[in-house]
Amino acid sequence: MSTSFAQLAAAPGTASPDPFKHVNYTLGMLLGVDDFNQEFAYLSGRVQWIARDAIGYGTMCGLRVSADSTSQGPRVTVAAGTGLTPYGRIVYVQSAQCANLNAWLTANQDRVQNLLSSPLSSALPLYLVLSYRDCPTDPVPIAGEPCRSADDLTAPSRVVDDFQLDFWLTPPAQTEEDAVRDFVAWMNQIVISDTGPFTSLDDFIGDLRAALNTQASPPDPGSFFQLGSPLAGIRISPSDLPAFMDAAFRIWATEIRPLFHLAPPSAGCSCNGNMTPDALLLAEVDVPLVLVGQEWQVDDLQPVNINESRRPILLHTRMLQEWLLAGPQTR
């Protein structure tokens, strides 16, 4: 994992294909570059759409984050693995990647200085983020106009899936992940008991909707799901649980999730830039700093802490199936 990555720029004047259109071929129609790009965008977009809406996002396998010490100072390593981004892109890291923290600090001294409060020592939270990118490859000769430059004699014939790993100074937005966690914690306040008095289904639905706080724009899950009110007083009979859960999940899918869910990118939408929402948080790396001369470096006397508590994890269906059939039992 290098300390910075260069984002490949799109060709000037090239319109992005619309992921909601596909080619309607008619016998005799001549297909060109735009048609092939359009069909690929449609098929790729639908795969991402299914992943985004039906599966979710998070770390799927591997991508373990660890820290160790080297002769150049502390180092952060990300193991090989796969993740699914908020926009539904699969990101595959083929081999372990590493970054030297002192090298990153040297390259980002001005940005770091603006965040620190103490003039002598401080701690800096860095957010390790994984995102998708692609890279053109396999150049081939192409036909064209005479008197071309050497750069215009070939063009990439393939595009390979790639990734970008970097440290951000602010965490990526993951409001849907926060909303899922808060909604489950909210629902866990409900008491399931054989003894009443029991809450009616209509009152439960009314209380659920009344508790929604949609004043902020965009909504903040931290204030949207207010623990302690009103679901803390809900009591349900075990026999009524399926009906209550059906109502809760219906309201989640139709009224709550749309407030936080990322819409598919529209035609012409650029997802370049360091603060794109299509980024996956792997860990918060808390780095102890000390001022050496005029430059901030890692304090070797203090540990580098890795916090993965806000990292989205995506379990595969087989694990969920086995957990439901043979998971922990109440005794």
Mean pLDDT along residues 128-146: 86
How far is residue 284 from each of residues 70, 121, 287, 309, measured CA to CA in Å? 20, 19, 9, 9
Asked whether 137 and 306 are in contact (CB, 8 A), the reply is no
- Predicted pLDDT at 289: 92
- The DSSP-derived string for 229-286 is SSGGG-EE-GGGHHHHHHHHHHHIIIIIHHHHPPPPPPTT----STT-S-EEEEEEEE
Parallel, antiparallel, or unpaired: how do β-strands 81-84 and 90-93 relate?
antiparallel
Q: Which ranges of the chain does DSSP label H, i.e. alpha helix?
A: 33-50, 101-107, 109-113, 175-187, 201-210, 221-224, 241-251, 257-260, 317-326
- Predicted pLDDT at 304: 95
92 band by pLDDT with thresholds 50, 70 and 90: very high
Q: Of 231 and 138, which is predicted with more confidence? A: 138
Residue 105 to residue 295: CA distance in whole angstroms: 8
Residues 6+ apart with CB under 8 A from 54: none
pTM attached to this predicted model: 0.84
Asked whether 183 and 252 are in contact (CB, 8 A), the reply is yes
Mean pLDDT along residues 150-177: 88
Residue 32 to residue 184: CA distance in whole angstroms: 50
Q: Is the pLDDT of residue 272 over 70?
A: no
209 band by pLDDT with thresholds 50, 70 and 90: confident
Q: Of 124 and 121, which is predicted with more confidence? A: 124
Q: Range with the lowest mean pLDDT among 3-12, 68-77, 123-132, 226-235?
A: 3-12
Q: Is the pLDDT of residue 6 over 60?
A: no
How remote is the C-alpha of 306 from its chain's centroid? 18
59 band by pLDDT with thresholds 50, 70 and 90: very high
- Predicted pLDDT at 11: 43
Residue 168 to residue 281: CA distance in whole angstroms: 10
The whole-chain average pLDDT of the chain stands at 84
Residue 307 to residue 183: CA distance in whole angstroms: 22
Contacts 24+ apart (CB under 8 A), 45-48: 45/19, 45/20, 45/264, 46/19, 47/88, 48/87, 48/88, 48/89, 48/264
How far is residue 160 from each of residues 109, 116, 281, measured CA to CA in Å? 33, 39, 23
Q: Is the pLDDT of residue 94 over 50?
A: yes
Q: Is the pLDDT of residue 5 over 60?
A: no
Q: Of 327 and 296, which is predicted with more confidence? A: 296
Asked whether 62 and 82 are in contact (CB, 8 A), the reply is yes
Q: Is the pLDDT of residue 214 over 70?
A: no
